[in-house]
Amino acid sequence: MIAGSALYQTAVELNRRAAICIPEDARLAVGQLCQRETHSLSRYVLEQIMENYQVAVAEQRPMCADTGLPRFYAKVGNEAVVEGGMVGLEEAVRRATAEATAAIPIRPNRVHPLSRKDQNNNVGVHAPTVDYSFEPGVNWLELTVVHKGGLFGGDYRMLFPADGVAGLKRFLLDSISEFFRRGMSCQPLVVGVGIGGTKDVCVRLAKEAACLRIVGDRNPDPDIATLEEELLELGNSTGFGVMGLPGDGAILDVHIEIAYTHTGGMPIAIQHFCFAHRRATARIGADNSIEYRGNPCWFTPFYRRESISFQPA
Ligand code: SF4
C-alpha cells in the first residue's frame, strides 16, 4: 500500500525541486537558443537566465521570485492502493503544499479572488488542484508538481472546421504578438496547443501539453508531429526574441494535443509555459520506494486512447 507519509514527503520534495531546479530538457533548450541567437541584447538576457538557473540551485532558492501556483498531476495505477484513498492523497498534497510554502520558502500567492484573503500557505478553495489520469496494469502512483503562473500566455478561440490549419496558425501568431511584444509571458517558453474537445477540455489539454511533455518530445501521430514542427518554425520566424526583444526566436518547443470534438467546431487553446519551467515528477511504488524522474510521461498510449477498449501495442 502507498502510505500517506510517502505521498506527503514526496510532495514536499517535489515542490522544492520544481521551485529551485529547472528540468534538464528546458535548460538545454534555453542554452541552444542562446547559442543560435544573433541579437546581442537577447543573447545577454538568455545568458542571465541560464546564470539564474545555476544560482538558484547553488543557493537553494526559487528560480523566480514569483513562484506561481503549485498544482499536482497524479497518474494512478489501476492496481494501486493508496492509504486513505484519493481523499488521503488530496490531504497529503495539501499538507505538503503548506509545508513547502513555509520551508522552501515559496511565495504564498493564492488568495481569495474577491476578499483577497491569503492563508499564507498556497492552500484554499480549489487550491492546489489535483488532476488525475490512470494507467492500466500497474500498482505505482506518479505525482508531478507544476508551479505555473496563469496571469498571461493563455488564450482560447472557437474556430470552425473550414478555418483548418491556416486558422490555427493565424491564432498562434495573434497570441504570440499579444503576449510577446510586451514580454508578458516571459519568453523563451514552451507553447502547448489544445485542439478539439469542449472549451474546458481544450484549455486543459493545452496546459498539460505545455507543462507535462519534455522539450523535443513529439506527438506519436505523424501528422500532428509534423504540425508541431511547422508551428515551432512559424512561431520562431516572427522577429520576437526573449522577453519581447528583437531576436531569432523565443519558443523552445510546440506541443499539440487533440480531443474529439463537436462536428461543427474546432476549438483551439494555447498555453505558454515560461522559462521558469517548474516541473518535477516522482513515481511512488507499492513498497513506498520513491524514484524521481525527469519525464512526467503524462501522455501515455492509454491516456490518448481512441477506442472503447484499450489495446496495448
Ligand atoms: S511568467 Fe515565469 S519567469 Fe515570468 S514572473 Fe512569472 S514565473 Fe517568473
pLDDT at 229: 98
pLDDT at 170: 97
What pLDDT tens digit does each residue of the chain (313 aa) get?
999 999 999 999 999 999 999 999 999 999 999 999 999 999 999 999 999 999 999 999 999 999 999 999 999 999 999 999 999 999 999 999 999 999 999 999 999 999 999 999 999 999 999 999 999 999 999 999 999 987 888 999 999 999 999 999 999 999 998 899 887 889 999 999 999 999 999 999 999 999 999 999 999 999 999 999 999 999 999 999 999 999 999 999 999 999 999 999 999 999 999 999 999 999 999 999 999 999 999 999 999 999 999 987 7
- For ligand 1, what atom is nearest to the CA of residue 65? 8
Cell of 172: 498562434
SS3 helix, strand, coil % of the chain, rounded to 5? 40, 25, 40
Find where cell 486543459 sits: 204
Rounded CA-CA distance 264/267 in Å is 10
- For ligand 1, what atom is nearest to the CA of residue 274? 2
**13 Cβ partners below 8 Å, 6+ apart?**
282, 292
pLDDT at 311: 82
227 CB within 6 A, ligand 1: no
Cβ burial of 31 (10 Å; 0-12, 13-18, 19+) is middle
pLDDT at 153: 87
**Span 199-232, pLDDT tens digits:** 999 999 999 999 999 999 999 999 999 999 999 9
| Distances, alpha carbon 213 to alpha carbons 25, 81, 208, in Å | 10, 26, 8
**Cα 64 to ligand 1 centroid, rounded to whole Å:** 6
276 CB within 6 A, ligand 1: yes
Going along the chain, which residue ranges are E strands? 69-77, 130-135, 141-148, 154-159, 189-196, 251-259, 266-273, 278-284, 290-293
- For ligand 1, what atom is nearest to the CA of residue 68? 7
Q: Rounded to 10 degrees, what is the CA torsion of 179, 182, 184, 190?
A: 50
273 CB within 6 A, ligand 1: no
275 CB within 6 A, ligand 1: yes
153 CB within 6 A, ligand 1: no
Residue 253, strand partner residues: 190
- For ligand 1, what atom is nearest to the CA of residue 64? 8
pLDDT at 255: 98
How does DSSP classify residue 240?
B
Instruction: Identify the structural domains of the chain with CATH numbers, from first to last.
Output: 4-21+63-149+278-293 (3.30.1330), 151-273 (no CATH)
274 CB within 6 A, ligand 1: yes
Whether the bond into 312 is cis, omega within 30 of 0: no
Q: How many helices (H) and strands (E) does the chain have?
A: 7, 9
pLDDT at 313: 73
pLDDT at 216: 98
Closest by CA to 282, choosing from 4, 6, 83, is: 6
With beta carbons less than 8 A apart as the criterion, state whether 256 and 209 touch: yes
Find where cell 488568495 sits: 111
242 CB within 6 A, ligand 1: no
**Cα 68 to ligand 1 centroid, rounded to whole Å:** 7
Cell of 38: 544573433
Q: What is the pTM of this model?
A: 0.96
With beta carbons less than 8 A apart as the criterion, state whether 280 and 290 touch: no
Rounded CA-CA distance 210/190 in Å is 6
**Span 243-281, pLDDT tens digits:** 999 999 999 999 999 999 999 999 999 999 999 999 999
Instruction: Kindly report the number of other CB atoms within 10 A of residue 118's CB atom.
Output: 13
**Cα 240 to ligand 1 centroid, rounded to whole Å:** 18
